[in-house]
């Protein structure tokens, strides 16, 4: 009898949870009581997919607060990364650097779609293989083979400028979203895309790309057509791939999630691993180097028969040990471009939530009637900077280009002579004496992390260097990031 009553109790509890669950998932408006997704009452659609899916190649990085900036003594006695406590929102980041094979796929697509009528698009995307040349070194074989030979397919792409890396991110966004629509049965495969008739996420959302419609998306609007295109509200399309900000890159590289106990960071890291050493304490691999870097003058990989890091140039992606987020080579191998414009005192100027320098606020370009203008010859939506007149009534910003805000603009000048001389229109160049004492301009971009040709000092995530956004190096590559939509912690 007792056993029977327990069974009845269990059934009652299960029934209660079924009722509660069904009520919580009922497609009814909390404000009006009207049903969602019901064509009989107008067909207002609400996606039942509330969690963002993880894009190909990405790993979820749970955000939080951390001390951004230097974690070691500066050997050059300069100080351009003062420690500052900031909060980084959750985001996604590539598990590894972008590889040569990834970039070859990108070039193949550009050649197939634009090569006949716009060959310059393909040419402008090519990595600078001549970056391997040195006046007093025999690196000519790498000029010919590093990027294209199959032996180097899984090695990080180098010789790519900041501008080229950003273009790759845009292309990757569109290819990933196109495949998602195909897998959802909305579009069919279209291998004949050419010139402006290629899938672009923004053009598709704006109704300026249709593609080969397969089943389409069912339209619940009783006054509309039977099918429609996918909208952002459907939750099928992913946010854009992009370069990580400096704060995101540094936060992800440190991987302090593995050192946190009850909201306390129990050990602040110098590198993406614990301790001040560059060798592992794993018993199986005891004493092995945990990253690819230059150990000392003339020592890039060690002595034959007992190589230390085992790589004289970049090592394959996924080499060595990942950090506590599961990211590979966040120290050593190749340095990596980040999104930010360089300023010596960036850590002091930027906001303490999602810090970043480099904003240029834009809007979609419209004609005199307010209608979105036609996409450009490459199939992309056209943008323009927000005008000063539109910013006059705003309190959060007053101009579109904020690259030199409080560091290179009129608010930060130290002499009025610059304003009185019409020939000195670039205040940033004047302030930093470009070409005389520095190479800092509004086109100077930050790159992070040590590389195969750097000493261990630069493997500390807090260290930062810069280079012009149109230049490239044989020691700088990149990886992509993506915004996290909704909850900062999936499943909570």
Which CATH number covers residue 210?
3.90.1580.10
Question: Quick check: 156 and 97 in contact, CB under 8 A?
Answer: yes
Mean pLDDT calculated for residue range 38-66: 91
Tokens of 311: 């790589």
Tokens of 436: 């005389």
Decide if 44 is inside a domain: no
Among 451, 438, 483, 443, which Cα is nearest to 163's? 443
Same domain membership, residue 92 and residue 190? yes
Same domain membership, residue 333 and residue 217? yes
Query: Which residue bears the tokens 């946190």?
Result: 260
Decide if 411 is inside a domain: no
Decide if 186 is inside a domain: yes
Mean pLDDT calculated for residue range 390-397: 81
For the chain, the domain total comes to 2
Range scoring the smallest mean pLDDT among 326-330, 400-404, 470-474: 400-404
Decide if 413 is inside a domain: no
Residue 61, beta-bridge partner list? 91
Q: DSSP letters of 378-434?
A: TS---EEEPPHHHHTT-SS-S-SB-TTTTTTSGGG-S-THHHH-TT---HHHHHTTB
Same domain membership, residue 383 and residue 289? no
Q: In the predicted model, what is the mean pLDDT of the chain?
A: 88
Where residue 64 falls among pLDDT bands split at 50, 70, 90? very high
Same domain membership, residue 213 and residue 115? yes
Report the distance separating Cα 358 and Cα 340, nearest Å: 6
Report the distance separating Cα 489 and Cα 483, nearest Å: 13
Among 434, 441, 433, 428, which Cα is nearest to 467's? 441
Decide if 146 is inside a domain: yes
Most confidently modeled range among 79-83, 165-169, 350-354, 399-403: 165-169
Decide if 78 is inside a domain: yes
Same domain membership, residue 199 and residue 109? yes
pLDDT digits (tens, 9 = 90+) for 7-48: 444 444 454 444 433 333 358 999 999 999 999 888 899 988
Tokens of 121: 């698009």
Predicted pLDDT of residue 390? 78
- For residues 128-144, one letter each, b for 16 or more C-beta atoms within 10 angstroms of the residue's C-beta and e for the rest, the string is bbebbeeeeeeeeebbe
Query: For residue 331, what are the domain limits?
Result: 59-338+346-358+452-458+469-483
Other CB atoms closer than 10 Å to residue 3's CB: what's the count?
6
Mean pLDDT calculated for residue range 195-224: 94
Predicted pLDDT of residue 1? 45
Predicted pLDDT of residue 56? 97
pLDDT digits (tens, 9 = 90+) for 408-450: 887 777 666 655 554 455 788 888 888 998 899 999 999 999 9
Same domain membership, residue 185 and residue 252? yes
Question: Quick check: 335 and 448 in contact, CB under 8 A?
Answer: yes
Tokens of 172: 């990757």
Same domain membership, residue 181 and residue 65? yes
Same domain membership, residue 90 and residue 68? yes
Same domain membership, residue 384 and residue 305? no
Q: Collect all residues with Cβ–Cβ distance below 8 Å to 9 and sequence separation of at least 6.
A: none
Same domain membership, residue 323 and residue 190? yes
Mean pLDDT calculated for residue range 245-250: 97
Choose one of 370, 386, 402: the last residue of a domain.
402
pLDDT digits (tens, 9 = 90+) for 399-411: 899 999 988 887 7
Decide if 157 is inside a domain: yes
Predicted pLDDT of residue 345? 78
Mean pLDDT calculated for residue range 326-350: 92
Other CB atoms closer than 10 Å to residue 98's CB: what's the count?
24
Same domain membership, residue 108 and residue 189? yes
Counting residues of the chain whose pLDDT is more than 90, the rounded percentage is 66
Query: Which residue bears the tokens 């160049």?
Result: 429
pTM across the whole model: 0.90
Range scoring the smallest mean pLDDT among 29-43, 61-75, 131-145, 154-168: 61-75
Mean pLDDT calculated for residue range 178-193: 96
Report the distance separating Cα 141 and Cα 143, nearest Å: 5
Decide if 17 is inside a domain: no
Residue 367: HSE in the Cβ half-sphere, 13 Å Cα cutoff: 6
Same domain membership, residue 377 and residue 301? no
């Amino acid at each position: 009898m007792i056993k029977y009553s327990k069974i009845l109790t269990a059934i009652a509890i299960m029934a209660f949870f079924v009722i509660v669950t069904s009520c919580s998932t009922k497609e009814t408006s909390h404000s009006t009581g009207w049903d969602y997704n019901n064509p009989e009452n107008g067909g207002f659609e609400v996606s039942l997919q509330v969690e963002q899916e993880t894009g190909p190649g990405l790993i979820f990085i749970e955000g939080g607060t951390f001390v951004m900036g230097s974690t070691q003594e500066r050997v050059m006695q300069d100080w351009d990364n003062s420690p500052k406590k900031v909060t980084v929102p959750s985001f996604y980041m590539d598990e590894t650097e972008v590889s040569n094979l990834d970039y070859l796929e990108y070039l193949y697509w550009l050649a197939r779609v634009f090569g006949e009528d716009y060959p310059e698009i393909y040419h402008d995307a090519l990595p600078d293989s001549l970056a391997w040349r040195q006046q007093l070194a025999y690196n000519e074989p790498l000029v010919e083979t590093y990027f294209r030979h199959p032996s180097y397919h899984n090695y990080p792409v180098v010789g790519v400028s900041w501008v080229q890396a950003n273009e790759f991110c845009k292309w990757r966004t569109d290819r990933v979203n196109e495949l998602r629509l195909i897998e959802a049965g909305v579009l069919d495969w279209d291998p004949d895309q050419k010139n402006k008739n290629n899938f672009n996420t923004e053009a598709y959302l704006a109704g300026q790309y249709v593609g080969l419609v397969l089943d389409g998306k069912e339209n619940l609007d009783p006054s509309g057509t039977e099918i429609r295109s996918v909208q952002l509200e459907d939750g099928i399309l992913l946010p854009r791939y992009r370069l990580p900000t400096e704060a995101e890159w540094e936060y992800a590289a440190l991987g302090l999630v593995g050192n946190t106990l009850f909201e306390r960071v129990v050990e602040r890291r110098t590198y993406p691993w614990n301790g001040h050493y560059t060798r592992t304490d794993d018993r199986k691999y005891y004493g092995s180097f945990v990253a690819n870097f230059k150990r000392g003058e003339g020592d890039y990989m060690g002595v034959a028969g007992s190589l230390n890091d085992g790589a004289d140039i970049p090592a394959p992606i996924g080499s060595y040990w990942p950090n506590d987020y599961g990211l590979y080579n966040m120290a050593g191998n190749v340095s990596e471009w980040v999104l930010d414009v360089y300023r010596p005192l960036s850590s002091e100027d930027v906001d303490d939530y999602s810090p970043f320098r480099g904003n240029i606020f834009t809007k979609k370009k419209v004609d005199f009637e307010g209608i979105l203008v036609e996409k450009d010859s490459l199939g992309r939506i056209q943008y323009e900077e927000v005008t000063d007149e539109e910013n006059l009534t705003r309190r959060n910003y007053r101009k579109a280009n904020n690259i030199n805000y409080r560091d290179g603009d009129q608010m930060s000048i130290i002499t009025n002579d610059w304003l009185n001389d019409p020939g000195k229109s670039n205040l940033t160049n004047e302030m930093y004496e470009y070409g005389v004492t520095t190479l800092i301009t509004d086109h100077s971009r930050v790159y992070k992390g040590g590389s195969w040709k750097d000493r261990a000092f630069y493997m500390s995530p807090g260290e930062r260097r810069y280079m012009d956004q149109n230049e490239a190096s044989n020691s700088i590559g990149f990886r992509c990031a993506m915004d996290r939509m909704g909850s900062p912690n999936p499943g909570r």
